[in-house]
Structure formats: structure tokens, C-alpha cells
Chain A
Amino acid sequence: DAGVTQSPTHLIKTRGQQVTLRCSPKSGHDTVSWYQQALGQGPQFIFQYYEEEERQRGNFPDRFSGHQFPNYSSELNVNALLLGDSALYLCASSGGTGANTIYFGEGSWLTVV
């Protein structure tokens, strides 16, 4: 049973560019959340998708957007990248039986130069 998978694992982008990160939830899960983790800090909630709609959003600007597909996979898009967007981006999934447990992927390391 595959857990939460994310791609790419590492990437480097230039300021002003756009990036797309991808996530496949754990089998049987229908809810996907995205978190940003800066170095030395705890993960910060970006937003959550359920039934292909954004259900909750944290304190992040509109440059951060997402999408959930019918197969429950999800994308996180960040436009007009800033140096401060450099972080580990984590995808978490939940839902189905044992719905109370939220599982995280290994993350995508984004470096903005």
C-alpha cells in the first residue's frame, strides 16, 4: 500500500517563475492538504482540497493555488516566486476508514534563487 507520494523531490527555480508540485494521496484517502515548512519551523497549513474544491485556506497569498483531480491527486501551484518561498512543501492526505489519521509525504524541496 503506497503512502503519500510527492514529486519532484527537489527543484530549483528563479525568482518570478512559476512552479507546480504534485501529490498522490494514500490509497483510500480523498482529502489532500498542503503545508509549507521553512527551515527550523513547523509546517504551516496552506490549503485543503476535498471533492475537487478548496475547503480551507491558511494565511497564504493568492499566488498559492491548487487543484484536486477526480482521482484525488492534487497539485500545488506557486506563481511569481519569491526568495521567501524556498521551503519544504508537504502534502498530507486523510479520509476513508481510519479517517482521523493524517499522513504526510516526504515533501518537495523548493529553492528559489
Chain B
Amino acid sequence: LAKTTQPISMDSYEGQEVNITCSHNNIATNDYITWYQQFPSQGPRFIIQGYKTKVTNEVASLFIPADRKSSTLSLPRVSLSDTAVYYCLVGERYSGAGSYQLTFGKGTKLSVIP
């Protein structure tokens, strides 16, 4: 399983765009990049997943350069409610037959300041 490195913490003001970069130098060909958000005392919530280039959904964008050794989660115009821990994970895309597990690091604690 590829190891990931991300900043321990980040601060941002409300209304700003936040970019959290994750390094995964040993990513394998079959690996996907997935980001989860976790609020205190709650389970992680899936945000976005991608393999290469750019992926966008209603809450975030994920930018992956051609070499795939890093990825950047972009949160547009953050609000106080975006204060949470964000985890970057790398692993094979689940393909059934009970063969998938997630390896979490310590994540990035994002604090949004009014």
C-alpha cells in the first residue's frame, strides 16, 4: 500500500479556497486516490476519488498531475463547517470479492477562521 504524506494542519479564513496537497511517491499503476473528511466523533465521509487529471464534484475538486506522485484537494470558498480532518488515501480501486482495505495516516486538520 502506497504511503501518503500530507500537512498535519492548515488554517484558512472563511470564503477562501483551500488546497491540501498529498504526496504519494510510491503510487502503483492500479492505485486510485481517495479523500475523506472527518468531523470529531463521526465516521469519515467520502469526498472525492480520482485516477488522473482532474475530477470535480459538488463539494470539491481533485487535481492529479501526470506523474501521479501527488494530488491536491481543492475546497472552494470554505465555511466554518468545513473545519475537519481530511485524509488522503491511495489504494487499488475496490473490485469486489472483499479485497479492499484503507490505510489512513493522521490526516490534515483544517481550521476555518471567521
Residues of A within 8 A of B (CB): 4, 31, 33, 35, 40-45, 48-51, 53, 55-56, 58, 88, 90, 92, 94-95, 99-107, 109
Contacts and interface: CB of A to CB of B under 8 A. Distances in A.
Contacts of A56: 98-99, 101
A78 to B, nearest CB: 18
Nearest to A47: B101
Contact of B98 (A35, A44, A49, A109): A49
B104 interface: yes
Most-contacted residue by chain B among A35, A50, A58, A104 (CB, 10 A)? A104
Contacts of A43: 44, 102, 104
B39 to A, nearest CB: 10
Nearest to B93: A100
A42 B101 contact: no
B94 A102 contact: yes
Contacts of A51: 98
Interface residues of B, number: 25
Contacts of A58: 101
Interface of B: 32, 36, 41-46, 49, 87, 93-107
A48 B99 CA distance: 8
B73 to A, nearest CB: 16
Contact of A99 (B95, B103, B105): B95
A92 B41 CA distance: 15
A42 B97 contact: no
B87 A4 contact: no
Nearest to A41: B106
A77 to B, nearest CB: 19
B43 A4 contact: yes
Contacts of A42: 87, 104-107
A107 B98 contact: no
A90 B100 contact: no
A90 B45 CA distance: 12
Given A42-B87, A58-B101, A94-B100, A102 B46 contact: yes
B104 A103 contact: no
A50 B44 contact: no
